[in-house]
Amino acid sequence: MMGDAGGGNPDPNVMGRADDAIERLAPLEREAQAWVMRFASGEATPADIEALKQWHGQSPAHAEAFVRASRLWDALGAAGQRAARQNALPAGAEVLPFIQRPAVPRSIIPQSMGRRAFLGGALAASAAGIGYLAVRPPLDLWPSFVELTADYRTATGEQRQIRLASGVAIVMSAQTSVAMRPREDDAGHVELIAGEATITTGRNASAPFVLVAGGGRTSASQASFDVRYIGPTVCVTCLHGEVLVEQGRAARALQASQQLVYSAQGLSSIRAVDPAVVTAWRDGFLVFHGTPLAEAVEEINRYRRGKIIVTNEALGRRLFNARFRFENVDEVVGQIQQVFGAGVTSLPGGIVLLS
C-alpha cells in the first residue's frame, strides 16, 4: 500500500493498523520510545534529564528498552523523522505487514508529532530492513519519476568516490545518498537526496552537468563545487570555475570561493568563503568557525556512532570553534563540556545528552 503521493493526509488503513499495534506493545517499550521522542524534539528540560536518568536506572530492562527505541529512531533517518513530525507517512513509502516496534504514548509525545505517524514510519523502516526509511524526493523536476532508489549511499563516517561515464567525479561525504537520473545527452542528471558531495565536472562534456537537490538545481560545464543538503536548506559552494544555481524562477552564478544557500523561500545572497574549510571533510577533518553548536552537533553525528542531542536551546545557539580529525570525533563531547560548561549525560548506544 502506498502513502499519499501528494503529501496530504496519511493513509487511513496504515494509521488504523498503527493504532491497533499500539495496544499490543509493552508499557516499557512505550515509555522508552516516549523518552527518545522527548529528547529528539529539542524541548527537553534539565528536569527531564534527571527524570530520564532515574527511569533509565530502574533496571537493565529499562536500559535495554531505551537502546532499542533509540536505534529505531535513528533507523527512521531524517526523512522519516520529518514525516513523523508532520503526522504523515512519506510519499512513496511502502508499508508492509506489521512488524512489532515500540510506540509512543500520546500523553508524552511532543504536540508536533502524532503517535500513529511515528509508528507508521516505524513500519516502513522495519519493512525496508536496510537501516533507513525510503523517501520520495520532490517530483517537480522529473514528472516521470515514480519511486526513489538511491544508486549510491554512504554510512556513518564513510566516504566514497564515484566516477561517471561522462568524466564527472563525485566524492560523497558520510550519510549521503545520490541517485542517477538518465538523460538523452551524455552529461545526465544526478540527484543529491541527502548529505554532502563534491562534484568535479568532465573537461569535454557536450552539455552542462546538472545536480538537483531540495527543489533546486546546480549546473556547470567545467567546474568543481560542493553541495550540502541537510535539513530544509541546500548550501552550494563553487570551488573552481563557475556554477549556476537555480531555484524556482531565481538564478545566480557563483564564482570560485563563493557560496549561497536556498530553500523553499528562495535563494540567499552570495557570500565569500574559504573552500579549504568547506571541503575539510575530504581530508578527514571537521572544522567549525563560529558555527551554532546545534548545527555543529548535526555534522558531528554524521561521523560518530550513536547520537549527540543538545537538549538546551540556549546551548545550541552558542558559537562553536573547533578542528579535529574524524578518528578523534568522540573527544568533541569533552571539549564542549569544557568550553561551554555543558552538562553531559552518557547513555547506552553512544547516546549523549548535552544540557
Question: Which of 128, 161, 182 delimits the end of a domain?
Answer: 128
Do 325 and 282 meet the contact criterion of CB atoms below 8 Å apart? Answer: no
Shared-domain flag, residues 274 and 290 = no
Supply the CATH number for residue 312's domain.
Answer: 3.55.50.30
More confident residue, 232 or 182: 232
Average confidence (pLDDT) over 318-333:
91
Q: Please give the single-letter amino acid code of residue 88.
A: A
Residue 209 lies in a domain: yes
* Set of cell numbers at residue 195: 548529505
Structural domain containing residue 211: 152-278
Shared-domain flag, residues 339 and 271 = no
What do you get for the CA distance between the two ends of the chain, in Å?
42
Confidence (pLDDT) at 66: 79
Residue 252 lies in a domain: yes
Total domain count, the chain: 3
- In this prediction, residue 62 has a pLDDT band, given cuts at 50, 70 and 90, of confident
pLDDT tens digits along 189-200: 899 988 999 999
Report the C-alpha gap between 33 and 37 in whole angstroms.
6
CA nearest neighbour of 92 among 1, 24, 20, 180: 1
Looking at mean pLDDT, say which of 70-79, 114-123, 192-201 comes out highest. Answer: 192-201
Confidence (pLDDT) at 117: 46
Report the C-alpha gap between 77 and 241 in whole angstroms.
34
Do 135 and 83 meet the contact criterion of CB atoms below 8 Å apart? Answer: yes
Report the C-alpha gap between 353 and 316 in whole angstroms.
12
CA dihedral (185, 244, 246, 137) positive or negative? positive
More confident residue, 207 or 344: 344
Shared-domain flag, residues 124 and 165 = no
Map residue 147 onto helix, strand or coil: coil
Shared-domain flag, residues 166 and 271 = yes
Please check the confidence at residue 142 and state whether its pLDDT lies above 50.
no
Please check the confidence at residue 112 and state whether its pLDDT lies above 90.
no
pTM, to two decimals? 0.62
- In this prediction, residue 45 has a pLDDT band, given cuts at 50, 70 and 90, of low
Query: Cα 304 vs. chain centroid, distance in angstroms?
Result: 14
Q: For the CA atoms of the chain, what is the radius of gyration?
A: 21
Residues 6+ apart with CB under 8 A from 6: 91
Residue 3 lies in a domain: no
Supply the CATH number for residue 266's domain.
Answer: 2.60.120.1440
pLDDT tens digits along 162-201: 998 888 999 999 988 888 876 655 455 899 988 999 999 9
Confidence (pLDDT) at 20: 47
Report the C-alpha gap between 180 and 190 in whole angstroms.
5
Average confidence (pLDDT) over 20-46:
66
More confident residue, 274 or 122: 274
- In this prediction, residue 144 has a pLDDT band, given cuts at 50, 70 and 90, of very low
Please check the confidence at residue 98 and state whether its pLDDT lies above 90.
no
Q: What is the DSSP letter of 249?
A: T
pLDDT > 90 in the chain, percent? 34
Please check the confidence at residue 23 and state whether its pLDDT lies above 50.
no
